[in-house]
């Protein structure tokens, strides 16, 4: 049985990142220094600093004016928020423009903000670190598409290897190709042919990062009628992706505009973004394509974390933080995890981790109205953006929490989650949920009670041993919950007084 220990959160004031990109200027404020970056404020302004950069070599004048106005607003906001730290980063457009340094100087003079201008290598590294922040075992190529550049980084074993920064951002590619797919394809091939290392992605994964590719993922989800509208870790096989991209390239702007959640400012870039990602898949021949909501900003956040937090698991850390935020002690979740372990012999390390997360989240939703608690708990776990989970695991975890509160399946969204897991997984998460229900009614969620009893499978019997000298185990509804759990796993139930 794997062993886990709680990760102590280092509590500080919020931290912020201002990302001055080629297309947008964005402020993201995270709740504090913890393993999983939890955004509490997120605002962007489309400034298009990199518009016409290919032809003029300079930042777009109207974009500069809008960016300065936006940065003045962000300066006031972040000052009022009392941030512990604010990182201000500029990327491809400012880096490549002949008047980029002048822009940096003007921003400092008018707002007091000190901009760190990232080199192509630094930007690529932060993009890769952002993916690793959410997917520590990422193995393949991170591809981060911005307005001014495309960053490619090989990642494996938590390490970064080959990298490239290419002038294939959506704004620059649109300008150089006149938005013609055939012309864009030629330009894409000219730049990618020199990156022979891309062939090393064969059989691995491409991790797509950036607003244009997130918009593309939303279109894919809508076209597939996919049951879970969560972008992070949305996964396609290479054949699936190439087939969808071919279909999407034939959709008109009016059709695309009707898809819920697609940023209208991204619509014009979608055909070129699909063509670029499709070409990367054709050259690299990965098995899978994974869309990540984590990128350069989260990489900046992750880069500055203490090493003790970097090595922590993102799912367990997020679950512990949610547990604390609900006024519950994570140590009690670990006690429930150990108490239930006899029901799950031979589980894998990944299965054990998901069960531990369920135990930590077992009472996070106590404040919801009882009539809606099961549904609200299910939906919140299913849709949380920062859990570092594949979609099948996310659905399984949400179902386990649902069955913690309720045993029937009368909610349509629960049926959608059922479609994402196989029968073995469904049986397992029901077992977890029923086990959590039993643990709660036995102890009332109070510390120091559950560990006085013992739950174990003994042959054909599910045995609950309780001390005869403890009045807390006299009465209560736990025998009924024990009987239901035993029936679910095909055992007889027995309460043994010791």
Each residue of 305-318: pLDDT tens digit?
988 888 889 899 88
Q: Report the pLDDT averaged over residues 414-418.
A: 85
Question: Who wins on pLDDT, 48 or 264?
Answer: 48
Q: Give the whole-angstrom CA distance, residue 36 versus residue 316.
A: 10
Q: What was the pLDDT predicted at 7? A: 47
Beta bridge mates, 492 = 461
Which residues lie closer than 8 Å to 347 by C-beta, 6 or more apart? Answer: 355
Q: pLDDT at residue 179 above 70?
A: yes
- The residue ranking higher by pLDDT, 12 or 483, is 483
Angle (CA) 266-272-278 rounded to 5° is 120
pLDDT, one tens digit per residue, over 213-271 is 999 999 899 888 888 888 899 999 999 999 999 887 776 667 777 766 667 767 778 88
pLDDT in tens, 238-251: 999 999 998 877 76
Assigned token pair, 252: 């008109």
Question: Which tokens sit at 157?
Answer: 């074993």
Q: How does 228-260 read in b/e, with b if 16+ C-beta sit within 10 Å?
A: bebbbbbebebeebbebbeebeebeeeebeebe
Contact status, residue 110 vs residue 68, Cβ threshold 8 Å: yes
12 falls in which pLDDT band (50, 70, 90)?
low
Q: Give the alpha-carbon dihedral of 487, 489, 492, 494, to 10 degrees.
A: -100
- For the cut 70, the answer to whether the pLDDT of residue 473 exceeds it is yes
For the cut 50, the answer to whether the pLDDT of residue 108 exceeds it is yes
Contacts of 159 by beta carbon, 8 Å cutoff, 6+ apart: none
Chain segment 283-306, per-residue pLDDT in tens: 999 999 999 999 999 999 999 898
The pLDDT of residue 8 is 46
What the chain holds in terms of domains, given with CATH numbers, is 15-117 (3.30.420.40), 121-298 (3.30.420.150), 313-497 (1.10.3210.10)
Q: Quick one: DSSP state of residue 306? A: -
């Amino acid at each position: 049985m794997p062993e886990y220990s709680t990760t102590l959160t280092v509590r500080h004031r919020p931290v912020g990142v201002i990302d001055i990109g080629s297309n947008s200027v964005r402020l993201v404020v995270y709740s504090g220094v913890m393993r999983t970056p939890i955004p509490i404020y997120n605002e962007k302004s489309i400034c298009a600093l990199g518009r016409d950069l290919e032809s003029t070599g300079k930042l777009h004048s109207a974009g500069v004016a809008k960016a300065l106005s936006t940065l003045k607003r962000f300066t006031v906001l972040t000052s009022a928020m009392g941030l512990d730290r604010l990182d201000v980063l500029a990327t491809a457009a400012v880096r490549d423009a002949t008047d980029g340094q002048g822009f940096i100087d003007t921003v400092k003079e008018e707002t007091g903000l000190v901009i760190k201008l990232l080199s192509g290598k630094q930007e690529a590294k932060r993009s890769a670190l952002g993916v690793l922040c959410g997917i520590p075992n990422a193995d393949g190529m991170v591809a981060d598409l911005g307005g001014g550049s495309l960053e490619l980084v090989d990642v494996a074993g938590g390490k970064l290897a080959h990298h490239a920064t290419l002038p294939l951002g959506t704004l620059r590619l649109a300008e150089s190709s006149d938005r013609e797919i055939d012309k864009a394809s030629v330009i894409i091939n000219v730049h990618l042919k020199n990156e022979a290392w891309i062939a090393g992605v064969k059989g691995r994964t491409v991790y797509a990062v950036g607003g244009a590719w997130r918009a593309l993922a939303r279109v894919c989800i809508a076209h597939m009628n996919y049951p879970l509208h969560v972008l992070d870790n949305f996964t396609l096989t290479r054949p699936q992706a190439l087939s969808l991209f071919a279909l999407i390239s034939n959709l008109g702007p009016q059709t695309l505009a009707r898809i819920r959640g697609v940023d209208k400012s991204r619509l014009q870039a979608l055909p070129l973004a699909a063509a670029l990602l499709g070409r990367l898949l054709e050259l690299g021949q990965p098995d899978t394509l994974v869309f990540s909501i984590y990128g350069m900003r989260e990489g900046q956040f992750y880069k500055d974390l203490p090493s003790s937090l970097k090595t922590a698991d993102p799912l367990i850390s997020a679950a512990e933080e949610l547990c604390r935020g609900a006024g519950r002690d994570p140590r009690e979740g670990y006690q429930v995890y150990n108490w239930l372990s006899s029901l799950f012999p031979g589980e894998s390390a990944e299965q054990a981790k998901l069960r531990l997360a369920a135990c930590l989240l077992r009472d996070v939703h106590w404040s919801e109205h009882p009539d809606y608690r099961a549904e609200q708990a299910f939906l919140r776990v299913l849709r949380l953006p920062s859990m570092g989970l594949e979609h099948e695991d996310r659905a399984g975890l949400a179902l386990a929490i649902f069955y913690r509160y309720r045993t029937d399946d009368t909610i349509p969204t629960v049926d959608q989650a059922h479609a994402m897991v196989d029968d073995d997984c469904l049986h397992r998460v029901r077992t977890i949920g029923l086990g959590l229900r039993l643990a709660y009614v036995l102890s009332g969620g109070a510390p120091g009670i559950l560990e006085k009893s013992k739950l174990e499978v003994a042959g054909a019997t599910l045995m609950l041993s309780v001390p005869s000298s403890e009045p807390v185990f006299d009465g209560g509804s736990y025998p009924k919950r024990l009987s239901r759990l035993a029936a679910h796993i095909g055992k007889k139930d027995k309460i043994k007084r010791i």
